[in-house]
Amino acid sequence: MDPDAEVDVDMSPYLIRYKSGRVRRLMGTSRVAAGTDAATGVTSKDVSLDAAGLAARLYIPTDVLGKPGEKLPLLVYFHGGAFSVHSAFSGAYSRFLNALVSAARAVAVSVDFRLAPEHPVPVAYDDAWAALRWAVAATCGRAAGSRPGPEEPWLAEHGNVASVFVAGDSTGGNIAHNVAMRAGRIGFGLPGGAKIEGMVLLHPYFRGGELLPSELTEPRSLERAERWWAFVTAGRYGIDHPFVNPLAMAAAEWAALGCRRALVTVAGLDKMRDRGRRYVEALRASGAWAGDEAVLYEDRGVRHVFFLRKSEGSDKARKDMVAAVASFMASSSAEGRCGPSMCSSSSSDAKL
């Protein structure tokens, strides 16, 4: 048979890899143009981050353009898609980032990292780290009066290096966690000595060899998780590696998490919801993390990353979640808002 047509691995509904190495993606391949979104008042553009092809889509509230000196939080966002599908340029992510940037009044860098299986994990983490460093350098170079960073006027004029956030959904949340872990390790660091103020994990993709209660509802849950993780990592890491199972870390290892504040959101109908809950519990209980705030927000009655699909949930549920993220980014302290307890959405009436 033609090796370009003979199936090597069928990972439907995501992709199929053929014996020749060719990969056919079955979802997440559409692309929409950047521009100004009339509904949210946000403008976007596409930029190249390096000569190797790493790219991103930048977002900014349109009314800020032409107002030098008006500073906004810097949000670096990583899309989901099981490490293997979707991009920063898809319609779903353009809609979501437009809404989030409008609500949070931020300037955002949505990163188009390389995908597995052609580029197995940890390539996504390396690209994400490079993109974060690029964004911070472009933001702080001129403002700090130090050696200029890459030329990007939206970031140089409007980004606030004292208010840096990393965020992502599903596997993008996994990426955001691993980037924050890298930021706190000795030998790493961001340009100008910048720090990550906050980390936002939206329905993050974490798994592990010991199933949690919410995972027991799906037959063959562990088998499927192990197969997928082995596929996107080319078999390099097991299902309890800290990359995918931070709950396997010792309490002292949380000291490396290089952010001051953390927000984790979970969906009430998501089989991974208990992973997100346990993540927040472990972070609070570690005693080693130097951060100030770990918040859990629950989207009740909805499924995994419902906010990316028009057919999932209600408009109210989506708006409530976006508002919760915007509130977290705007708040300098948990006091007077959520305190150390669990925060929950009011989206119990969301449509399935």
Question: Is 270 among the catalytic positions?
Answer: yes
Q: How, if at all, do strands 55-61 and 42-48 pair?
A: antiparallel
Q: How far is CA 215 from the centre of its chain?
A: 22
**Paired strand residues for 45:** 58
Out of 112, 127, 270, 274, the active site residue is 270
Q: Is 120 helix (H, G, I), strand (E, B) or coil?
A: coil
Selecting among 170, 214, 286, 347, the annotated active-site residue is 170
Per the DSSP assignment, residues forming a β-bridge with 240 are: none
Residue matched to tokens 């060899």:
209
Per the annotation, the verdict on 102 as an active-site residue is no
Q: Kindly state the helix (H) or strand (E) to which residue 334 belongs, with its residue range.
A: none
d(CA 61, CA 57): 14
> What's the first-to-final CA gap in the chain, in angstroms?
44
Contact 149, 137 (CB under 8 A): yes
Question: Are residues 59 and 167 in contact, defined by beta-carbon separation less than 8 angstroms?
Answer: no
Question: What are the beta bridge partners of residue 259?
Answer: 196
Catalytic residue among 203, 304, 345, 347: 304
> How far, in Å, CA of 261 to CA of 176, rounded?
13
Active site amino acids: 170, 270, 304
